């Protein structure tokens, strides 16, 4: 006998009102138990370990989201919401081949989950999804949670490698859910392809050239529409040096930079040019040429305060250089081999221009041996013996 039969039978028994009340109570309780035992269509109660493939709202699944049958309650209202954020920003578009960090954010109470997919207008997969251990990729097209999240807001971050040049506009499709009562969200973004080129960079002329080092640099005038990820100077003894040889590394982005070229050979002709690398490739500035002088350079008597002097021997022009931040020279002295002071130079602006050039020929000195001394007021920073000859 069914509950409905019992109910109808007892309605026709007015002589026993207590029995009618009891049967009505049993019917109500039984109905409640049956309702509780019905299969649940609440989102995360059904799919706590990730949404089934094809629920991002993209064209490949005909726009189906978490509200599709077998996933979440079909009667739930899907709200258009801001779910997707990217780093770097793709507000203007994406750079072919570049890697982006994408974060999905779902707000609300209760457990939460999501699905995301990058697709073309025809539903083809665009680019490559890269998932951390906490997420999973389905059919190379979708990315979703492994475990539902209870945080508010809940966020999931993963990588996306943009497709190659010529792929065209990419659609980002995301669907999310929060709460046992099923709040459903969706967002669609249309990301155009940026037409990027290599960067534009210029090369700074060489300066402070010593037997074993020199200073150069460059200026990244334009990044070509794609972020510059490496820049510096390539140098060597052959024309048109590249980043496969000796280089300096001087940060990222646009703007000017200074490069110290070390480990050079004395008396050698060098070629150098600035470089800048973005996702498209490496661009080079115009090449420069310089020759390191012959002779040797020495350190200060105090190793913490370097002082270099070259060339040795010198036929006329003498270069002095110091590079330590602790060195604050105020005076350069030239002494004869017997220790007599024969010339003295005051040093001005030693921090922005830590070098001095001396034309020995103009001082009327005779050929021979001399001592070069560098002083900070009365304190000796360093000294070196030089030879002045033809």
Q: How far is residue 179's CA from residue 183's CA, in Å, rounded to a whole number?
A: 6
- Beta-bridge mates of residue 310: 319
254 Rama sector, left if φ>0, alpha if ψ -120 to 50, beta otherwise: beta
The residue ranking higher by pLDDT, 154 or 79, is 154
Q: How far is residue 339's CA from residue 336's CA, in Å, rounded to a whole number?
A: 5
Is 125 within 8 Å of 27 (Cβ atoms)? Answer: no
Which tokens is 161 given? 């490698």
Residue 34 predicted with pLDDT over 50: no
Is 93 within 8 Å of 191 (Cβ atoms)? Answer: yes
- pLDDT recorded at residue 157: 97
pLDDT interval class at 21 (50, 70, 90): very low
The per-residue pLDDT for range 81-118, each reduced to its tens digit, is 789 999 999 998 998 898 999 999 999 888 898 999 99
When the pLDDT of each residue in the chain is averaged and rounded to a whole number, the result is 79
- Residue 389, classified by CB atoms within 10 Å of its CB into exposed (0-12), middle (13-18) or buried (19+), is exposed
**Average pLDDT for 53-71:** 64
- pLDDT recorded at residue 49: 58
- pLDDT recorded at residue 126: 97
Which tokens is 12 given? 């026709």
**Average pLDDT for 133-147:** 93
Q: How far is residue 104's CA from residue 151's CA, in Å, rounded to a whole number?
A: 13
The residue ranking higher by pLDDT, 185 or 72, is 185
Which tokens is 52 given? 């089934």
- pLDDT recorded at residue 82: 83
Q: Is 320 helix (H, G, I), strand (E, B) or coil?
A: strand
Q: How far is residue 80's CA from residue 184's CA, in Å, rounded to a whole number?
A: 9
Q: Tokens 């035992």 identify what position?
A: 37
The per-residue pLDDT for range 317-331, each reduced to its tens digit, is 888 877 654 556 778
- pLDDT recorded at residue 224: 92
Residue 38 predicted with pLDDT over 90: no
Which tokens is 376 given? 């900070």
The CA-CA-CA angle for residues 218, 221, 222, to 5°, reads: 130
Q: How far is residue 73's CA from residue 67's CA, in Å, rounded to a whole number?
A: 6
Is 232 within 8 Å of 274 (Cβ atoms)? Answer: yes
Residue 204 predicted with pLDDT over 60: yes
Query: What is the CB-side half-sphere exposure of residue 178 using CA atoms within 13 A?
Result: 18
Q: Chain-centre distance of CA 265, in angstroms? A: 36
The per-residue pLDDT for range 298-314, each reduced to its tens digit, is 433 334 445 677 777 78
Residue 139 predicted with pLDDT over 70: yes
Residue 272 predicted with pLDDT over 70: yes
pLDDT interval class at 72 (50, 70, 90): low
């Amino acid at each position: 006998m069914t509950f409905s039969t019992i109910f109808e039978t007892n309605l026709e028994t007015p002589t026993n009102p207590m029995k009618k009340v009891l049967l009505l109570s049993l019917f109500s309780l039984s109905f409640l138990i049956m309702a509780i035992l019905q299969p649940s269509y609440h989102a995360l109660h059904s799919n706590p370990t990730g949404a089934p493939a094809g629920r991002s709202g993209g064209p490949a699944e005909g726009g189906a989201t978490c509200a599709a049958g077998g996933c979440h309650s079909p009667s739930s209202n899907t709200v258009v919401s801001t779910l997707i954020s990217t780093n770097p920003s793709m507000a203007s578009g994406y750079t072919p081949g570049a890697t982006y960090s994408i974060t999905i954010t779902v707000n609300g109470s209760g457990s939460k989950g999501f699905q995301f997919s990058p697709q073309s207008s025809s539903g083809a997969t665009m680019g490559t999804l890269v998932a951390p251990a906490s997420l999973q990729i389905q059919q190379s097209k979708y990315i979703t949670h492994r475990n539902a999240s209870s945080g508010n807001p809940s966020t999931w971050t993963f990588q996306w490698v943009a497709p190659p040049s010529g792929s065209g506009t990419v659609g980002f499709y995301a669907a999310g859910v929060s709460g046992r009562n099923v709040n459903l969200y969706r967002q669609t973004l249309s990301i155009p392809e940026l037409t990027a080129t290599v960067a534009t960079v210029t090369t700074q002329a060489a300066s402070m050239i010593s037997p074993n080092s020199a200073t150069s640099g460059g200026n990244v005038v334009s990044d070509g529409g794609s972020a510059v990820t490496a820049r510096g100077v390539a140098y060597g003894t052959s024309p048109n040096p590249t980043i496969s040889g000796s280089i300096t590394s001087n940060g990222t982005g646009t703007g000017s930079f200074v490069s110290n070229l070390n480990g050079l050979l004395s008396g050698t002709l060098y070629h150098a040019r600035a470089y800048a690398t973005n996702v498209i490739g490496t661009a080079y500035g115009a090449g420069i040429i310089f020759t390191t002088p012959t002779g040797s350079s020495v350190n200060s008597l105090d190793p913490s305060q370097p002082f270099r002097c070259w060339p040795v021997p010198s036929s006329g022009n003498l270069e002095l250089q110091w590079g330590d931040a602790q060195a604050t020279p105020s005076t350069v002295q030239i002494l004869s081999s017997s220790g007599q002071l024969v010339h003295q130079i005051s040093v001005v602006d030693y921090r922005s221009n830590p070098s001095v050039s001396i034309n020995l020929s103009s001082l009327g000195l005779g050929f021979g041996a001399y001592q070069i001394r560098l002083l900070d007021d009365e304190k000796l920073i360093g000294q070196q013996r030089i030879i002045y000859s033809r």
